[in-house]
Structure 1
């Protein structure tokens, strides 16, 4: 797109696209832009950026991270199919499976995140999709992505992985055998908690079917929000390094406390899956969890005493957040049972201030 010397791409909004002739209208399938639902020059810039970062053939932009989960599932799961989903998956993904795929007569089976190549034993002739998330949501289990994807592809299924935690700066699923990489651009690429957006980056094998489904569903991203993500992408690397640095610093400090049972952070040498993390990921981000030594009431007192950490969902923005994790929907990957699990999103505030805020929480938790 010509930008006439401006460093940022212009925001192109639009629904109607005018054609030069009736012949051009008849040939619109071969034109880059024919209607707003197919995107604009603004959305194309972000799609190309993400495809390059992911090593993908194409990228589809959608209005939310959850839409980025549901689009590829709808694209590749049909009535009568069997779908395998990691049990440590983002809970709204599980809700979609229960409420929508089940109604479509799709059988969903959840698998152990540590299954590795043995997932071949769960494959059926009708298995169409294997859905991964790395690390696992809230509990951060690290799967052997290559082994799972190779077994899935050998069994005739397509593979898709929710890569929101690591971003393509720290992990590229397609390099590890996945067909599609899913992101909630709401999180680190947006970076400022002021938009909703998702993306699916696909390899050549799966791109056409993904794009056809997106077109049939009539969903795309708003160019104004795309411009905000484009802005966020310019500072993604700098911000992610700060999120990573402070989160790891606080995770190591939490490990030293007697009122913390365990810390679930893949980059910690003490974490169960640390070696698997090092083999596959080049870095970490600002989201991790810890198990409080106490009961649910102690966790409530801890959270209510925080003044810098906000109590809220989502993550990846400039502000730090905390939330009590509910793992009751798990069937296999139950997670720690030694106390309440608290998830922290480490924002861009000073580490000393965040530590002092957590100390206030621990003091309140003691009652």
Structure 2
């Protein structure tokens, strides 16, 4: 088996077609080809694709070596191009992103963002990026890409008319995120991507927040969907990985660039991501439900100026979220009404069930202070009138009982006032 190229194409285990099943079923079935879960000539098989650890892939002969192998998942070539464990994960992610022809894996979400931008842009091109994008995205746009003579400008993602005017003759790509990092604005992705396509501009979205289960990015008009698999897909805060999914020929351009840079993920991490993927749907459903309970409770607190959670009825962007999304997650922010930095620190330091740390999407709840003004060109908060003190807190709601989390937050508010 180690010397025979594997057939490419979608998952067809027991005659199932991922195109006709609901997301919950596809999460269980995709990426489990018989070639990866059975031994040829032996009855039965295993549930999960084994972990294939290999740097060297063998050829049958020098003639076989000279013939080479297609540059696509499913063909043994060399360990840097992956093996069955990585291919199984990539195939599963492709099947979960409606409209995608392939997925490339990266050692982190930032690697996926940076490599995708570098693959699709050339010297002299211009990148427009949403002002509320993930901070490392902004850093890559204004730092890394500048070294390659690629210019970048921020734009207000809530200003659709302004976006159309912002596109110039050198603009080749727009980087989106929905909702926005930290401040959780929801922009009109179908409208923005329609404008971009009309002007010949590619659109890439960081779709980590909702994942394709909650927001089918390519169906909404985006050309490339990037995710940090570290978050929801991994789900257990024990791996780093990213992905980019797209149609041809874009995914081939991204794949080639990733190979030029030697980007590769370990089979062990790919196996962990596959394990997390199987339960991602139920985890997202539970964390979303708990997040709504906590966010609704925060609205009643006098210490809170605004709750930035687009899933809440009446929240800014709720109408667009309800129109374009079929799910959410446990990540949202809120601003404090009358507090200084020391009071916010007392609040965070008093939390017992919330860890203080970066990342999110794991089974445990997290909290960090957020100050978006330092990384914004436009408004730091959706509405200055609701920003209160301007000091914010971002919560990632995990799988704990929401009542216990609310009691923990109650104690922390009390400590903030002392």
Shorter-normalised TM range? over 0.9
Deviation, structure 1 residue 117: 5.4
Distance 1:57 1:333 in 2: 37
What is the correspondence of 1:1-367 to structure 2 with a 5 Å cutoff?
1-4=35-38, 5-30=45-70, 32-55=75-98, 56-116=100-160, 118-293=162-337, 294-327=339-372, 328-335=374-381, 336=384, 337-339=387-389, 340-367=391-418
CA shift at 1:155, angstroms?
Answer: 1.5
Inter-partner Cα distance in structure 2 for 1:24 and 1:333 = 60
Distance 1:276 1:195 in 2: 32
Shift of residue 355, structure 1, vs aligned partner: 0.7
- Per-residue CA deviation, residues 132-159 of structure 1 (Å, 9 max, x unaligned), is 0011001111111111111112222211
Measure the CA separation in 2 of the matches of 1:117 and 1:49. Answer: 37
For 1:178, what is the secondary structure of its paired residue? coil
- The CA distance in 1 between the partners of 2:272 and 2:95, in whole Å, is 19
2-side partners of 1:115 and 1:203: how far apart? 28
The answer to whether the Cα contact below 8 Å between 2:366 and 2:397 also exists between their aligned partners in 1 is yes
- The normalised TM-score by structure 2 is 0.86
Whole-angstrom distance in 1 between the partners of 2:55 and 2:180: 39
**Matched positions, count:** 367
Q: CA–CA distance in 2 between the matches of 1:115 and 1:213?
A: 33
Q: Find the counterpart in structure 1 of residue 16 from structure 2.
A: none
Listed as ranges, the gaps of 5+ residues in structure 1 are none
Aligned-pair distance for 1:118? Answer: 4.3
**2:352 & 2:295 partners in 1: Cα distance?**
19
Shift of 1:116: 2.4
Q: Could you tell me whether the CA contact under 8 Å between 1:125 and 1:155 is conserved in 2?
A: no
CA contact (8 A) 1:179 1:205 kept: no
Contact conserved, 2:36 with 2:50, CA < 8 A, in 1?
Answer: no
CA RMSD of aligned residues (A): 1.2
TM-score normalised to structure 1 length? 0.97
* Matches of 1:238 and 1:329, distance apart in 2: 34
CA-CA distance at 1:295 after TM superposition: 1.9
